Amino acid sequence: MSLFKLWGTLQDVRNARKFFGDNPDKTLKELQIKCHPDLYTDDDDKTLAIKLTQQIHSLYEEAKKPASYVSSSTTKYEICRPISSGDTSDLFYATDESENHYIAKRAKTPAVNTFLRSEFRATELIQEKTVGTSYSHFFQTPVEVLTDDKIYITMYKDNEGYVPFNDVSDQIGHNGRHVAWFFKRLISAVATVNSCGLVNCAVLPSHILVNPGIHGIRLLGFVHSVNAGDKLKVVSSQYKDWYPKNKVGYPALDMLLAAKTMLSVISSDIPNPIKSFIRSVELSSELCLKGVDTYDPWMIYDEFSALLKKVYGQSKWVELQVK
């Protein structure tokens, strides 16, 4: 197996204990031999080998931990590999006894249970409103809410095939055609949320997933969401400077954050008309939040589509790879 294929395999690991099998030490030794940096002369291969070695050790330490389970009245879940840790919760991969894959979101303390419950209800509402449409693919599928020692754990179907936006943002930001499809989908996701009477309030780089193989996106962060017009409950500490002073969840806030997300990654390689349009979306969204302009996300979508036709003519598939 090549280093690149092994890298892909490691990214797909959900359960470290099962990956290392009945003899974790033997598996570790075999992988260490394969990834030893001294085996490679190319600088890129050496760098990848070092990264793989670090990932393997991290998975090995995870595999040695005792299994953790949580159950509902119908399903027993194994909480597996940790994914990330946020302001209010921690994310894990999870599986059930039939080997179905899930994302488990665990509240950090009982005090933030209400945020996870609110997020779950928001995703349920969006699923109900978008069922049978292509827009449903922009969002996670909620499964159920569980309680473990007074801590809420919300279960969602796994985002298989999706990677964090930050893993591909550099490639997207340097290619105008990638910017084109990505921003169109982001506008569609925002418009769908707003049409459900909700404001996501966290359309940020850290809350977006991308499926490189199908040019898909998935919008996360509904722990921040509110009903349109309500005051914000919480803002992302990492991007607090992106929010307007008036912390109210008006729908244009989502489009403002979407534009800021896009502008934060696009490079000088992007055609000026596209950059100018996204800057105009940022400005018009700010004016909408001040009550100076009207907000129509689908009109923004149509205008952006028309601009892209002028810039590029026919749409063209450009492969996006995770590096």
Looking at residue 196, which CATH number applies to its domain?
1.10.510.10
Q: Give yes or no: residues 110 and 181 share one domain.
A: no
Q: Give yes or no: residues 75 and 50 share one domain.
A: no
- Measured between alpha carbons, how far is 59 from 51 in angstroms, rounded to an integer? 12
Q: What's the pLDDT band for 137 if we cut at 50, 70, 90? A: very high
- Please check the confidence at residue 225 and state whether its pLDDT lies above 80: yes
Is 319 a domain residue? Answer: no
Q: Give yes or no: residues 193 and 288 share one domain.
A: yes
- Domain count of the fold of the chain: 3
Q: Give yes or no: residues 276 and 174 share one domain.
A: yes
Name the percent of the chain lying above pLDDT 70.
99
Q: In this predicted structure, what is the pLDDT of residue 1?
A: 64
Which residue range forms the structural domain that includes residue 175?
163-312
Is 322 a domain residue? Answer: no
- Please check the confidence at residue 301 and state whether its pLDDT lies above 90: yes
pLDDT in tens, 141-198: 999 999 998 999 999 999 888 989 999 999 999 999 999 999 999 999 999 999 999 9
Q: Give yes or no: residues 50 and 13 share one domain.
A: yes
pLDDT in tens, 53-108: 998 998 899 888 888 999 999 999 999 988 888 888 999 999 999 999 999 999 99
Domain endpoint, select from 127, 157, 187: 157
pTM of the model: 0.86
Q: What is the mean pLDDT of the chain?
A: 93
Domain endpoint, select from 63, 85, 108: 63
